[in-house]
Amino acid sequence: MFFIIAILTTFVPAQAQAAELNKAQWLMRQSEQAFSLQLVTLSSKQQIERFVAEEPALKDYSVAYYRYQKEGQLLYVVTLGVFADAASAQQVKESLQLGRVAPEEAWIRPLDEIQAQIRTTLQR
């Protein structure tokens, strides 16, 4: 006599993994001739982490953040990708489908400008 034991498991779809969140040092290692998309500027690292976790489309891109000081306030900036030229950044910008940032709100920035801004504020 043979017994077949069936084990039932509940399939729970995995949540989309949040994008790896690179730091300012990663941006500093990129070519200064490259471009990136600035997505948002927020007031805390916790807000940055929440933003990245809540935007599943970001998992397909390199995402980084840095902080800078403006008018006595620390601000945190999220950037997306490193692109060889502005045209490549523009293509991604137009196809970007984020819940909290409309494509027209993303800002194409030369990395040399971002790197200069990073140098003005101590990073952690």
Six token digits for residue 55: 């935007």
Cβ neighbours around 60 below 10 Å, total: 12
Six token digits for residue 83: 């692109």
User: Domains of the chain by range and CATH?
Assistant: 21-119 (3.30.70.1070)
pLDDT tens, residue by residue, 72-90: 899 999 999 999 999 999 9
* Confidence (pTM): 0.82
Residue ranges for the chain with pLDDT beneath 50: 1-16
C-alpha span between 14 and 124 (Å, rounded): 31
Q: What is the pLDDT of residue 5?
A: 38
Q: What is the pLDDT of residue 19?
A: 65
Q: What is the pLDDT of residue 10?
A: 32
Q: What is the pLDDT of residue 1?
A: 45
Under 8 Å between Cβ of 28 and 115: yes
Q: What is the pLDDT of residue 73?
A: 92
Q: What is the pLDDT of residue 13?
A: 32
Which residues touch 82 (CB under 8 Å, ≥6 apart)? Answer: 30, 31, 34, 35, 36, 62, 111
